[in-house]
Structure 1
Amino acid sequence: MEKTPGGPAGAPAAPGGPPPEAIRAVPVRHYGRWVGAAVVLALLGLLVWAFANAEISWEVVGDHLTYDTILEGAGKTLWITLLSMVIGVVLGLTLAVMRLSRNPVLAGTAWGYIWFFRGTPVLVQLFLWYNLALVFDTLDVGFYRDEMNDVMTPFLAALLGLGLNEAAYMAEIARAGILSVDEGQTEAAHALGMSGAKTMRRIVLPQAMRVIVPPTGNEFINMLKTSSLVYVINYTELFRAQDIISSRNLAVMELLMVATAWYLVLTTVFSIGQYYLERYYARGSQRALPPTPWQRVRAQLTSVRAGGRVPAVGEVRKERSR
């Protein structure tokens, strides 16, 4: 161990002697990380170079990013996704409660719904709804009667196909979240005289949200991409919009690039929202929330300005608290 006039490094100095030297932490060098980063950057560079020199008219891509038909298709994609997700969340929570019910009829009905909609592809379900007029000529519910062809529009078929399918998956997500709450919470609420519905609404569900929110965000982002399937039933969302344009100008690859860019924008925006929503519901379950990407960048910049010095624990906590 390195000796100092006051004794070993970091040891208290003798009375009247010189102060001990501060311990200097030397960061460990990880050469494998630099090699891995160099390989990844080289591969990315090759990929960018290949697309830059491919037979793609990037001017056409830029011109069509804000094309009216594309913007309208992106808006319809977002709209059908939001409405389908609302149906999926509301119906999914209802099915989860039914599945956990002691009533065999409610539990069996919920199980049968989940079994059917999870066991068949969403594409098949879209076609079933869209072609419902082949087996039912008219829709007659007593106070309303109309031809099924007029009722089952591409929008309604897309909404039912996506929303009802999503409800089956949301039911299992919600059920897992409800079961993650300790049974003692429910027993304590019942001991205080709370009814089952009030216990579920005020005690169980708020705690289950920590488990429900992350996969729900993933389901929403997945729904944004799954909505491209509704082009097969003639609903003009983003994918069908680019297909219509590319069939006219034959710029197939360019319009696919436009659709890809818009899907990436939409999913990125909602991924950021999901991240901060998860942090909100994680409060109280963790002593210290993990730093956000922006806080990590600021910490790295601070480390660079400090000459590569490893930040002290107090500095990291101070940076996270900003």
Structure 2
Amino acid sequence: MPAQPHALDSPVPLAPDPPGEGDDPVALRIVPVRRTGQWAAAAAVLVLLALALSSVVRNDAFQWEVVGAYLTTDSVLRGLGLTLWLTALVMVLGFALGTLLAVLRLSGNHVLKVVSWGYVWLFRSTPILVQLLFWFNIGALYPQILGVSTVNLLGPVTVAVIGLTLHEAAYAAEVVRGGILSVERGQLEAAQSLGLGPWRRFHRIVLPQAMRSIVPPAGNMLIGTLKGTSIVSIIAVQDLLHSVQLVYHRTYQVIPLLLVATLWYVAVTSLLSIGQHYVERHYARGTAGTR
């Protein structure tokens, strides 16, 4: 009986030979994609930016010599210092109260959850200007609290701190709550099964991972608070904006003084943005997309 051919003995199709010297070079040439439209758009944008910058620098109406003269005056620097102090204090107090509200919102007690939700709903539904004016006129509703006159107790700066803090706490509560909810429930259950206490679970597991979701919106809130403090000038708090307003009400140089405030806001905001980048990178270590 003749032997059956083995599978290995069957002919196997060979791979095609690589192109040799006799092949058509035109058929093998790789043609790069032309991005003429993108380059034209980029050139047009650069030209427009150059024209806009040139018009700002060369326009005498901006009065850049006046801007340089008032940029580092004592009154402007004092207003800047108050703005920075107010921003830092409001952020610390706002996030402290916001964290408490977030914990209450995530608790199993329905009364605490409703109270926390009601606070966030009320202060997010009311414009910050209305809140500041309300606190500024609180003496009309409660002339005395615990025997202390509210007229003398709540000055403009105190009203600004109270109003901005209560307003920021409502937003901070949602930021913190979203960060805590971003942590997988299974990790908490695993930590609890290992016998870790509530504080160690929060400090070692929840907080480091939640910060990845908290830092970006918190940084935006910080920058927003810095710029939002300018609204306290309506109640005569001598922040940066109010300081330049006092000057241009006297000199009638409105545009250059507003540019002074704008340059300081841009400078501080840029520094805060750089700091936010490094904080985000710190908490994003070990994750995809870390730069």
Give the TM-score of the pair, scaled to structure 1. 0.78
Deviation at 1:148, TM superposition (A): 0.8
Deviation at 1:35, TM superposition (A): 1.3
CA offsets 1:135-186 (integer angstroms, 9 cap, x no match): 111231xxxx432111111111111111111111111111111111110111
Q: What is the aligned-residue RMSD (CA, Å)?
A: 2.2
1:289 pairs with 2:285: no
Q: Which amino acid aligns with 1:289?
A: T
Query: Pairwise mapping of residues 50-199 of structure 1 onto structure 2 (< 5 A)?
Result: 50-51=55-56, 52-140=58-146, 145-199=147-201
Query: Secondary structure of the residue that 1:285 maps to in structure 2?
Result: coil
Deviation at 1:53, TM superposition (A): 2.2
- Relative contact order, higher structure (CA 8 A, sep 6+): 2
Tell me the equivalent position of 1:213.
215
Deviation at 1:34, TM superposition (A): 2.3
- Number of residue pairs matched? 269
CA offsets 1:66-118 (integer angstroms, 9 cap, x no match): 01111111111111000000011111111111101001121111111101111
Q: Which consecutive unaligned segments of at least 5 residues does structure 1 have?
A: 8-24, 291-322
Deviation at 1:54, TM superposition (A): 4.6
Query: Secondary structure of the residue that 1:235 maps to in structure 2?
Result: coil
1:48 pairs with 2:53: yes
Q: Distance between the aligned counterparts of 1:270 and 1:43, measured in 2?
A: 29
Deviation at 1:245, TM superposition (A): 0.3
Q: Which amino acid aligns with 1:64?
A: Y
**Contact 2:208–2:283 (CA<8 Å) still a contact in 1?**
no
Q: Distance between the aligned counterparts of 2:268 and 2:32, measured in 1?
A: 40
Q: Distance between the aligned counterparts of 1:3 and 1:227, measured in 2?
A: 73
1:201 pairs with 2:206: no
Tell me the equivalent position of 2:43.
38
Tell me the equivalent position of 1:298.
none
Q: Identity of aligned pairs, percent?
A: 47
Structure of higher CA gyration radius: 2
Higher helix share: 2
Query: Pairwise mapping of residues 10-49 of structure 1 onto structure 2 (< 5 A)?
Result: 30-49=35-54
Query: Secondary structure of the residue that 2:148 maps to in structure 1?
Result: strand
Q: Distance between the aligned counterparts of 2:32 and 2:266, measured in 1?
A: 37
Tell me the equivalent position of 1:249.
251
Give the TM-score of the pair, scaled to structure 2. 0.86
Q: Which amino acid aligns with 1:34?
A: W
Q: Distance between the aligned counterparts of 2:21 and 2:162, measured in 1?
A: 77
Q: Distance between the aligned counterparts of 2:281 and 2:210, measured in 1?
A: 15
